[in-house]
Copies of this chain bind each other. A is one copy, B any other.
Amino acid sequence: MRLPPQIYEFVSILLLLAIGLKGGVELAKQPFLTLVPDMLAVIVMGFALPVLAYPVLLQLGKFKRADAASIAAHYGSVSVGTFAVAVAYFGTIEVFYEEHLPLLLVLLEVPAILIGILLARGFSNQTKWSSVAHEVFLGKGIVLLLGGLVIGWVAGPEGLTSVEPLFFDLFKGILAIFLLEMGLIASSQIAGLRKYGLFIVIFGIVMPLFSALIGCGLGLLLELSIGGTAMLAILAASASYIAVPAAMRISVPEANPTLSLTASLGVTFPFNVIIGIPLYLELAKVMHAFFKG
């Protein structure tokens, strides 16, 4: 039992657009310039996380350089599926979070890819940056999220009432279908687990915990709300399984793609969805209580 690939793609497209639209509508309510510090900070985080993960993968994991770089890039970037689950969850339990988080999601997709390539190649001239840029910026994820953001921004809440039934009312149903398929895909990665062994499992759980801590810390620094802090932790903790694998396959072909997919899709995605999201919310609460008093 698998969803036809075209349906899976359609469902992803709807989710990406919905998240973008939702974010765009909210974004319109506040002046753009006030967001610039958050945006810059998050980009720095996107560069920092893979740089921190890389030596661990190289030294402790004993991975080849290309593999270590590729896995690091996966964990520096984000998973839209994980974010969508968090959006649905926070909606249900009515936790507020800042409206520009979808924008931060978009920003976090890219830096990790650049760092991943640099870690694997150094500043080599061989990398065709133009085709990497093409691959990344014209990829489904960024085009649809950004497109949704801009449309939502321009149209505003009233402008979107007419598409609400498709993009907002159906959101959770569509997310359910998406998760069903993701579960099937993730479970097909378990064979890989057996092969690459314990380190991948441990890394796939410890790395998101560590990233969530950093995300929480950054959320506090940026004075986000509890929900916003938790969301930033979730973004930090999530690992890419669409944009980064595609980019790495082309830019760092000697990296083994099943290795990184096994980690991000077979371990970290289910961990985050089932345990991570509520955990990071608790973490945000505790840290807020502690630091903000």
Contacts and interface: CB of A to CB of B under 8 A. Distances in A.
Contacts of A163: 172-173, 176
A164 B171 CA distance: 11
Contact of A10 (B7, B162, B166): B7
A166 B170 contact: yes
Contact of A166 (B144, B167, B176, B180): B176
Contacts of A174: 166
A120 to B, nearest CB: 26
Interface residues of A, number: 32
Contact of A172 (B162, B172, B180): B162
Contact of A4 (B9, B162, B169, B173): B9
Given A163-B176, A173-B163, A4 B1 contact: no
A13 B181 CA distance: 12
Interface string A62-102: 00000000000000000000000000100010000000000
Interface in A142-179: 143-144, 147, 162-167, 169-170, 172-174, 176-177
A84 B163 CA distance: 14
Nearest to A173: B166
Contacts of A167: 173
A140 B88 contact: no
Given A1-B139, A88-B162, A166-B170, 19 more contacts: A1-B140, A1-B144, A3-B10, A4-B5, A5-B6, A7-B7, A7-B13, A14-B177, A147-B180, A162-B172, A163-B172, A163-B173, A165-B165, A165-B172, A165-B173, A166-B173, A166-B174, A166-B176, A170-B170
Interface of A: 1, 3-7, 9-10, 13-14, 88, 92, 138-140, 143-144, 147, 162-167, 169-170, 172-174, 176-177, 180
